[in-house]
Structure 1
Amino acid sequence: MSFNESVLGKEYLKYCNLKEIALNTKTLDLSNISWFFPTCLLPLGIFIKEHKEIHVIPPIDIEVAKYFNIIMKDKIDSVKRSYIPIVEILPNKKLIEKNLDSLISNKDYNMGSLNAFAYFIGELITNIYEHSKFSTAYIIAQRYNQKNFTEIGIIDNGISIPGSYEIKGFNFSDIKALEEAIQGLSTKYNDNEYSERGYGLRTSLNLLTEGFEAKCLIVSRGVGLIANKNNRFFYKMKEKDIFNGTLISTRFDNNIREVNVYAYIDT
């Protein structure tokens, strides 16, 4: 399967195409965009924040423009009931807890799903704080009632998964670095042994693809991953599609069964 055959891969490549045109023309033209899904909106938000010199033409559609504008606010909150609020992951870890409460307290999911969801978010945020060295990071999720799915994305503009291994002296290709991260190889040392923190990404991916039966995407520097319950495909990203940071997104049905998170935690 090619990267752009995945629904999440297509959304990421939509961002890459918009970015490439904007860098060449100094104008980000969003006027004809009919809708944004989180996988496209998150990297677009970071791109705009990092390239203030680029002129942004907003979407013509009023509802799409409103949805787009929420990622542009300094303080991000919920604007519709179908939104799981967009949350900025602040460099000060103590300030994130209050915002996370709103992210994981949506009453439209059963308690077992919420516990698994909270674990997934917690693991990824912990990894961002411990490894990423980021300046900007976001979480966004939205439930689409008519389409019957929820899409969640988490992004940071840090050193990337391959970059984290490089700092620790590993000579991995970008694809090899992501493969090792998913296998549980940590970049943290503890008396020459690898700490259990390295299992966070592996556990989260198993929880999503097997527990939630979700589709998943990871892009980190020059490597991409598309994963589902049955397959995992790694991709060497084209130069124009590299993301200097890490994007993780997932899409799953709204009517997911109750998930026992402990069945997926490595012991």
Structure 2
Amino acid sequence: MKNLLDSYLDFCNFRKDYNENSKIIVKNDFLTPTHIIPLYHFITTNDIPSENIIIENQDVHSYFENIIKKDISSRSTFTYIPLTRLPEDHTNFDSEMDSIYNILKDRFSDPTPLFYIFQELINNIYDHSEFTNAFFMAQEYKQQGLLDFSFFDDGLTIPRVFRNSGIGLPEDVDCIYRAWKGVTTRPDAGRGKGIRSSYNICTNQYEGEFLIISGKGILDLRKPPRKHKPNDPHFHLNGTMISARCKFMEPKGKFIDNLVWE
């Protein structure tokens, strides 16, 4: 199974093929949230007709069609949380957050650490991005014993938020790295630690991996962290995506020990 970075690079190549040949050709045996969310956003914002989208594997084609049409409230058991659009008003999303918690509670005796990640990364989108479109999605892979989830918005990007706040760094990936380390652009006490706390939970409690893409930068948070600053604009992202992969297991250690307070 491809790691999170390679899944994102697959999407970039789908987009590059379309820009060069006017067709999206998907040959993958399966798609993950890190593929699906930016691909769906690219298709819908560019009004790409279905005849120009070729998904060669019929099972993958059916899955893609299904996952983008389901509603989160229709899920009674957790194998996936379908592609879910965030409304402009945060207060209109309370029932969906309840659905996420209930889905996790059905599968984990202690859903708190994973629910924290969902809650924190969704809050980050509302707090910072000024988005037009924002989505999240999750998928369990039973055979591999893994859980993938991704959060995407097409708003300001982490580098732009930093620069608008007077934190000038030359490379986009350095802004992403600083955000991961806990530097915040908001003066509120206790803010700016959610990404790092989410990373700690994912990697320490669930033995997972973490990926942040924003603007022209990619931060691959497998250990040790790797910074990427691709020159090819096909590998840039007009927005921000945070993807996580966790082992499908009960959390190790104490949730509280993974939260960053200062």
Give TM-score scaled by structure 2 length: 0.88
Amino acid of the residue matched to residue 154 of structure 2? N
Provide the secondary structure at the position in 2 that maps to 1:201. Answer: helix
SS at 1:134 equivalent: coil
Gaps (5+ residues) in structure 2? Answer: none
Determine the structure 2 residue equivalent to 1:121: 118
Among candidates 139, 155, 160, match of residue 158 of structure 1: 155
* Structure 2: distance between partners of 1:24 and 1:76: 35
Change (3 A) 1:180 1:140: same
Q: RMSD of the TM alignment (CA)?
A: 2.3
Aligned to 1:89: 86
Q: Which one of 42, 52, 58 corresponds to residue 47 of structure 1?
A: 42
1:167 aligns with 2:164: yes
Contact 1:87 1:100 in 2 (8 A): no
Q: 2:225 aligns with which of 228, 232, 240?
A: 232
1:111 aligns with 2:113: no
Give the 3 Å change call, closer, same or farther, for CA 58–95 of structure 1 in structure 2.
farther
Question: Which residues in structure 2 correspond to 1:191-210 (within 5 Å)?
Answer: 195-210=189-204
Match of 2:5 in 1: 9
Q: Counterpart of 2:124 in structure 1: which amino acid?
A: N
Q: Is the 8 A contact 1:116 1:261 kept in 2?
A: yes
Aligned residues: 256
User: Is the 8 Å Cα contact of residues 124 and 201 (structure 1) preserved in structure 2?
Assistant: yes
> Could you say which residue in structure 2 is the equivalent of 1:3?
none
Q: 2-side partners of 1:132 and 1:183: how far apart? A: 19
Taking the aligned partners of 1:88 and 1:70, their CA distance within structure 2 comes to 15
Identical amino acids, percent of aligned pairs: 27
In 1, Cα distance between equivalents of 2:72 and 2:132 = 16
For residues 147 and 196 of structure 2, what CA distance do their matches in structure 1 show?
21
Distance 2:95 2:87 in 1: 11
Aligned AA (1:242): H
User: 1:45–1:71: 8 Å Cα contact kept in structure 2?
Assistant: no
